[in-house]
Structure 1
């Protein structure tokens, strides 16, 4: 401690000396001073100035300051000491009776002393804090490799800037010509093929995939690193930065990151104009698609969001979620069954929504195929008759039916019921011309209730096998937010009787999906085997988004097309009501399928249907 105090005093003395000469240089010009014109005056007063200034600093106890922890109080004490030293210097020079001594030097001497001594203390503190922060970060940080091109790595490094958790130790690029470059002092250590060796040398198992969602590199890395035991991470989504409840730290790569595509571009202005300050109603609001629709709608400043679902638990969960994320939005959470027309009429007449999104449906193909076939009709078809009719009677501006790709050339009861629901919407549209009635078809939604992803995940957790019906079966997939956003966009753009088809991208083999999920769990197919069980009743190898005799036309939105279907002038709504009343409470599956075949000519049940 004594050595440090001595060192501080010596440095202060050197700086006081520098301040004296700097004061003369500022007063007379450094060239004149160097030429010796005023050197004799400066030299004559130098000893007195040194003694007096150091005495003033000593009286202010500046010599006791610890530079690394200097504060504003210390700097004010330093200024007081310099003032005292400057006054003592002026008094000493006057007593020495030095003719022509410039008085302005005294003021400059005090100022330069404060600047030099204060500057060195502030610098010492800044360096100390920086060193301490780096030590703390490095002690608590996890070592991380970034996989991606330099452009992708630059984006990731900017997102991680200032992170207290992660220490980036290198970049692994898929481009060999980027080897040897560096970015923000982080070197490119090698190519993707060398990732295992690089991770071993750098003593890390954490890998950040900087490539965008859906990029082929992501799938390649997952299949490569699953056997190497590396943990794959990704940056948070843009929506998570805006969600106060969501974590904005790195997260594990998920299936949506591997199959996701370019984010949907919404007409935010148009949707805000449609919904802001108004009432919107969603049926099936507690389901996967319905709840995401509610979350998306809440973003557009609705005055009131009416959420309808038959499940008490689902509507309760939705209420809790929306109250947390949108506390200022007025939510109305109702338990109601779309089969009950009078209840729906009462709800819509009471709240008068401008937009109704009808997402309530049974969608599980095998369950709806035989014993529950009539339930598919009562919910998917009769429910649509009731909701669409109530919307028309209440003067709703826009009605949107959430349909499915299984409605195209259907081979199962569920798909045929949704195709009949589309026809119902077109029929009701003719009865209520003031309301725009549209339908939106899309394929499988990742992570939705009843989809293969939760099933596969549960099977993997049990150790397998993962059951896939056929090695060649393929499906279209999209994420839940993407599906919900496109439904809203279609609802904004649509005109009565139009059926929108979503751009589902490329179909994905279900077996490939299973392999990706196995790797995401950190296992291999040796750990969790895949078993092929054969097609189920009503299931086909591939799904279609358009019937063979349909064509599509473009829309202003790149991911939406309009299916050109023939005009349906039949009073199908009345036929549905009449047949269900005639069939009674428990018609056989064969009777339901026979009636559906008459209503939906393109419906071709599989031979395996029982």
Structure 2
């Protein structure tokens, strides 16, 4: 019904209720109130009618959506009715010198009862009859606190969502057997499988936004024993800022299970190092590079230079950031290859960045085993070009994005990243530029990672292919890794290899199983096949080798490794000779240099030693 039709109907209904209430009150008290004349009754009725509609418009009673009415609407009705009665009483006092309290009191009670009842009757009809016209999914809510009860109330009042809350579970034993909005608290979290079976539950909503990642994993593992779909509510920040809605309830994602608790950053130090500066990000269109750009923009740099080789990826991040920050930050997209030394020097000279985040790299391990020369050109020569251009034109801080695969690397990709670390460590010894590397493991959902691959395989009906049942990897979310990279840049003194705390390693087979169940399938339906370890892969990744371990954290979740590079002259001589080698020689040499082993060059064999402090 339109607003133009709705208001006159409500005004007519209220007019009938007002007149009925005062006349009924008069007739109830008639034997005891002969002094209350018909003339006085008529005048009181007119005054009450006018005052009621006046206060109804003031309190917007005709603008309420009564199908969602609650206690707040009852209070509003009480205010409007009370003020209209007081207005009538005041008029009686002025006109007759008396206030006929008994009649007005009965009128007040009838007024609230009938107006409130007329409004709430629609909600009751809607809840009882309209909702029953289509079947809803029976839902269990995990958590009977303020967040869980808010979700339950919204679900009960929203007819557009096919979810019906029928039970709570909560670890607070004082809530057992109690009812909230007519929904019983049936037990604790351990009872979930039993409750799902007994109550024919189709969906489970985890509604405890203060949970740590470990607690979410624990609850998910219990819920995964059932056939119910598992969902989760928004973050606590959204509840505190009033953004919570049932539409925001989403499926549990693998990031909820493998990610860790939020990173607490030193905002003041980051702001001081970035605000008002010029920042350049290489590989700005990639997973990590683009997220670094997003995080950087929050600290209001003067200019942000997006440098990358892929035209489409740079276009995407450029348009995204312009739409949000285009008015306060000058965003400059540059299509360029870090292997182009002359171009890197030209860019540095033209824009004179204060901070450089070097995220451009080839990172796919098996692919680089087949293409070692490309790995060397991009990861080693590219890093050397950008780093030396940064030093030449006075960049204040240069941050290399490295990888856990640079530790004891048996593969070309990891070896080239370790040599890239050595390059910036050597440059740091003699430069005014603060050169640092930041080393971390796999990021969830990045391009080329296993998660997008597993999702595609699940969509096709399986099987999911895993290389080995015992293979483990460290995982971190893209925003967390990017935030810690930025934080590490503010801690730089020059020459450090920062290592991000990646938490506990995760079995790839467990990751595959979680993704299958999160997608609504059983492991038997999709299946898992083990394909064998691919060229260059390690069974277990490391963040530090035994000579680099330094337990103390310089900042929460950030360590400093003790890795020392090969001496500069020796290292740079080897790098300059890479182009002269055959593919097999090149592959062997970069892995040997990265691992402090014998380096074969032509017919000569020599030993390269890397000292560790």
Q: Give the structure-1-normalised TM-score.
A: 0.79
| 1:233 paired residue among 218, 221, 231 | 231
Q: Against the structure 1 CA distance between its residues 4 and 358, is the aligned structure 2 distance closer, same or farther, given a 3 Å change threshold?
A: closer
Is the 1:470–1:532 contact (alpha carbons within 8 Å) kept by the matching residues of 2?
Answer: yes
Aligned residue for 1:368, secondary structure, equals helix
More divergent stretch after superposition (592-601 vs 492-501): 592-601
SS of residue matched to 1:484: helix
Tell me the equivalent position of 1:146.
141
CA–CA separation in structure 1 for the residues paired with 2:492 and 2:196: 52
Structure-2 separation of matches of 1:172 and 1:162: 18
What residue is the counterpart of 1:335 in the other structure? Answer: 335
Corresponding residue of 2:507: 509
8 Å contact from structure 1 (residues 490, 500) kept in 2: yes
Mean alpha-carbon deviation: is it higher for 337-346 or for 447-456?
A: 337-346
* CA-atom RMSD in angstroms: 4.1
Q: Counterpart of 2:368 in 1: which secondary structure?
A: coil
1:428 is aligned to 2:415: no
Q: Does the C-alpha gap of structure 1 residues 134 and 541 become closer, same or farther in structure 2, counting only changes over 3 Å?
A: farther
Runs of 5+ in structure 1 lacking a partner? 21-42, 91-102, 606-610
Report what 2:323 is aligned to: 324
Equivalent in the alignment of 1:209: 206
- Structure 1 residues 130 and 196, CA, compared in 2 at 3 Å: closer, same or farther? farther
Q: Note the 1:102-501 alignment, pairs <5 A.
A: 103=97, 105=98, 121=111, 125=115, 128-129=118-119, 132=122, 144-148=139-143, 153-158=145-150, 162=154, 164=158, 165=161, 168-173=165-170, 179-181=176-178, 186-192=183-189, 194-196=191-193, 198-199=195-196, 202=199, 204-211=201-208, 215-216=213-214, 218-219=216-217, 221-223=219-221, 225-226=223-224, 228-237=226-235, 249-328=248-327, 329-370=329-370, 372-433=371-432, 435-501=433-499
Q: What residue is the counterpart of 2:527 in the other structure?
A: 529
Q: Distance in 2 between matches of 1:286 and 1:470?
A: 32
Kindly indicate whether the alpha-carbon contact (under 8 Å) linking 2:547 and 2:562 is maintained by their aligned counterparts in 1. Answer: no
Residue 596 of structure 1 is matched in structure 2 by: 590
Aligned partners of 2:19 and 2:49 also within 8 Å: no
SS at match of 2:34: helix
Contact 2:217 2:257 in 1 (8 A): yes
Hey, what does 1:24 align to over in structure 2?
Answer: none
Query: In the alignment, is the contact (CA less than 8 A) between 2:278 and 2:301 conserved in 1?
Result: yes
Structure 1 residues 243 and 323: CA distance shift in structure 2, 3 A: farther
User: How many angstroms apart in 1 are the aligned matches of 2:50 and 2:191?
Assistant: 57
Evaluate the alpha carbon distance shift between residue 19 and residue 360 of structure 1 in structure 2; reply closer, same or farther with a 3 A threshold. farther
**Cα shift at 1:337:** 0.7
**Which is worse superposed, 51-60 or 559-568?**
51-60
- Once residues 125 and 598 of structure 2 are traced to their aligned partners in structure 1, the CA distance between those partners, rounded to angstroms, is 69
Shift of 1:484: 0.9
Deviation of residue 274 (structure 1)?
1.4
In structure 2, stretches of 5+ residues that fail to align are 1-8, 62-79, 600-613
- Whole-angstrom CA distance in 1 between matches of 2:228 and 2:442: 30
**CA contact 1:404–1:440 (8 Å) conserved in 2:** yes
Larger radius of gyration: 1
CA–CA distance in structure 2, aligned partners of residues 567 and 576 of structure 1:
13
Partner SS, residue 499 of structure 2: strand
Secondary structure of 1:478's partner? strand
Q: Is the 8 A contact 1:208 1:233 kept in 2?
A: yes
CA deviation string 1:303-338 (max 9, x = no partner): 222111110111112123223343433322221111
Contact 1:503-1:561 at 8 Å conserved across structures: yes
Verify: 1:539 aligned to 2:537, yes or no.
Answer: yes
SS at match of 2:595: coil
Q: Is the contact between residue 345 and residue 390 of structure 1 (CA under 8 Å) also seen in structure 2?
A: yes
Answer with 167-176 or 406-415: which moved more: 167-176
Match of 1:47 among 31, 34, 39: 34
Normalising by structure 2, what TM-score? Answer: 0.79
2 CA distance for matches of 1:416 and 1:180?
61
Instruction: Tell me what 1:40 maps to.
Output: none
CA distance in 2, matches of 1:18, 1:493: 82
User: What is the match of residue 22 of structure 2?
Assistant: 12
Moved more, 313-322 or 207-216: 207-216
Please, which moves more after superposition, 1-10 or 266-275?
1-10
Matched-pair contact (CA < 8 Å) for 2:404–2:439:
yes
- Higher mean displacement: 54-63 or 435-444: 54-63
Q: Secondary structure at the match of 1:543?
A: coil
